């Protein structure tokens, strides 16, 4: 899908040549800045109550009289902001999904200057609406989006809009990669598959990549990571990606993504219902790959490292047992009270490993706890960070990207729940505050750098009839990395 800015006046939209025209309107019952035939079409539709200026409403007009475009969609938005534009465009794209329109022109709401955020919202909405998973479903229809999209606006807005379109397209490519990886079933998306994706990404975009096998991980002393992987026939992989966009003297930002390619819960086995969705437990790893895809295209002046510990969590005769004690790479011992709290075990060794990079900041991303879903639902990612400046940078990045997070507490008193009589710590606390105690566990391995943890258990995928990966938080992470560039 190719996105371009096109100078155009709303008063002249009826003369525009395209396969489909999407006109965004807001709650003002005036002419919306339209003229001639389109203004009359809107007036008639409102008078006949075929359309209302309420967010979420759409009206499809086929070959309307006096309008050059053969298809017109009127889409009502709550206001003229980027968030409302994205929602309205998503609705309009649904109307056009099976229309066959190859060139779509988008006329945003009247009365506000177009910004880079508006442009990025246009790309995000249409890219999301056109995505179709096909890899293991050959009967699925082909991607339904247009080949070409023109975003209409005033010449004065051109520079900002073009910047937003470029950023939006890079992020959309990253989101698509993350979705493609996460949507694949566990017998396709294995730790080795993630390593292949990292190698392919590195080859295509000039990145550096290193993939460690079990022998190398054993040599490093990653006892917690090894414990999780030991019940699986699939070999583990420890993946390290590097994007060098700044001088070597500049400390890198590090992203650490949980890569559990399938999670049965191990000996502490999960209920059968919805266990198929545990193929999404590598959503953190997918988001790291997706962010690297976006960053490699945008080429900011920053050094970026991505670390992905990848394995399965399976319950065979060699699997780690509740009550077993393992020694992490940091030297701290862990009593594994629940083998289904495995994500923090592979992450803690990765968080120790990244000390070697002397990072400017480390952000780990993980589908870590059901407790976070209970706390925040599926709208916001849980953010845990003791550093106010780093936390605000991540929150602000989420707002800019329309990929929201919410800051959660890290009070020291929560650490009491992790005490063990047989090791330096247990890997779980009680039921209460489960997302917080998981973050407190990870915090024990991050004393040597600035650190934040994103719990994406509620946002990395959707269940039910819309089951599938979302690609979050690639937009948030990409904005964060761009914001750290000098």
Active site residues: 270, 344
Residue 18 and residue 149: Cα distance in Å, rounded?
9
- Say how many C-beta atoms besides its own lie within 10 A of residue 251's C-beta: 14
Question: Residue 236 burial (CB < 10 Å; 0-12/13-18/19+)?
Answer: buried
Helix axes 388-401, 474-484, angle to 10 degrees: 120
Q: Which two tokens stand for residue 485?
A: 């560039």
Which two tokens mark 83?
A: 């968030």
CB hemisphere CA count around 310 (13 angstroms): 35
Place of tokens 């040599």: 219
Answer for the pair 405, 473: CB distance below 8 angstroms, yes or no: yes
Residues in the chain: 486
Q: Which residue has the tokens 């022998």?
A: 215
Cα dist. 327→320, 324, 411, 421 in Å?
13, 10, 26, 15
Cβ contact 458:381 at 8 Å: yes
Output phi, psi for 390, to 5 deg: -65, -40
Distance separating alpha carbons of residues 239 and 444, to the nearest angstrom: 22
Distance CA 484, CA 475 (A): 14
CA dihedral (317, 322, 324, 328) positive or negative: positive
Q: What is the DSSP string of 169-185?
A: HHHHHHHHHHHHHHHS-
Phi/psi at 354 (5° precision) = -75, -5
Looking at the chain, the number of H-run helices and the number of E-run strands are 13, 20
Nearest to 277 by CA among 209, 345, 373, 203: 373
Separation of CA 181 from chain center: 12
Q: Can you tell me the distance from the alpha carbon of 381 to that of 392, in angstroms, rounded to the nearest whole number?
A: 14
Q: CA-CA distance, 422 to 324, in Å (whole number)?
A: 9
Count of Cβ atoms closer than 10 Å to residue 68 Cβ: 14
């Amino acid at each position: 899908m190719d996105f371009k800015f096109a100078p155009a006046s709303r008063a002249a939209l009826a003369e525009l040549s395209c396969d489909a025209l999407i006109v965004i309107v807001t709650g003002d019952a005036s002419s919306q800045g339209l003229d001639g035939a389109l203004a009359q079409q809107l007036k008639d539709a409102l008078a006949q109550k075929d359309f209302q200026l309420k967010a979420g409403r759409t009206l499809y007009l086929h070959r309307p009289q006096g309008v050059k475009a053969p298809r017109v969609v009127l889409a009502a938005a709550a206001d003229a902001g980027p968030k409302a534009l994205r929602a309205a465009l998503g609705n309009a794209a649904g109307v056009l999904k099976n229309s066959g329109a190859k060139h779509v022109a988008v006329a945003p709401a009247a009365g506000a200057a177009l910004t880079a955020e508006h442009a990025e919202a246009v790309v995000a909405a249409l890219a999301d609406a056109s995505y179709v998973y096909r890899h293991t479903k050959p009967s699925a229809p082909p991607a339904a989006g247009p080949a070409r999209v023109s975003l209409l606006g005033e010449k004065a807005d051109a520079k900002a809009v073009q910047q937003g379109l470029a950023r939006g397209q890079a992020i959309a490519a990253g989101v698509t990669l993350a979705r493609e990886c996460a949507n694949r079933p566990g017998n396709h998306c294995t730790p080795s598959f993630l390593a292949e994706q990292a190698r392919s990404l590195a080859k295509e975009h000039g990145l550096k990549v290193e993939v460690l096998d079990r022998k190398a991980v054993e040599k490093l002393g990653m006892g917690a990571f090894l414990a999780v992987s030991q019940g699986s026939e699939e070999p583990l992989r420890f993946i390290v990606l590097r994007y060098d966009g700044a001088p070597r003297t500049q400390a890198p930002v590090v992203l650490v993504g949980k890569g559990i390619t399938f999670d049965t819960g191990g000996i502490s086995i999960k209920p059968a219902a919805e266990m198929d969705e545990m193929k999404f437990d590598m959503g953190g790893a997918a988001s790291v790959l997706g962010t690297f895809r976006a960053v490699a295209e945008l080429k900011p002046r920053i050094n970026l490292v991505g670390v992905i510990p990848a394995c399965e969590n399976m319950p065979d005769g060699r699997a780690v047992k509740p009550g077993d004690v393992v020694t992490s790479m940091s030297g701290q011992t862990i009593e594994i009270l629940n083998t289904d709290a495995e994500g923090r075990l592979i992450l803690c060794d990765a968080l120790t490993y990244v000390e070697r990079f002397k990072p400017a900041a480390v952000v780990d991303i993980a589908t870590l706890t059901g407790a976070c879903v209970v706390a925040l639902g599926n709208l916001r990612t849980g953010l845990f960070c003791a550093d106010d400046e780093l936390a605000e940078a991540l929150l602000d990045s989420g707002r800019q990207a329309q990929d929201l997070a919410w800051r959660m507490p890290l009070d020291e008193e929560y650490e009491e729940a992790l005490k063990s009589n047989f090791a330096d710590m247990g890997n779980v606390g009680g039921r209460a505050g489960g997302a917080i105690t998981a973050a407190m566990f990870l915090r024990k391995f991050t004393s040597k750098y600035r650190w934040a943890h994103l719990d994406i258990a509620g946002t990395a995928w959707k269940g039910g009839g819309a089951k599938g990966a979302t690609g979050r938080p690639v937009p948030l992470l990409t904005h964060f990395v761009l914001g750290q560039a000098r």
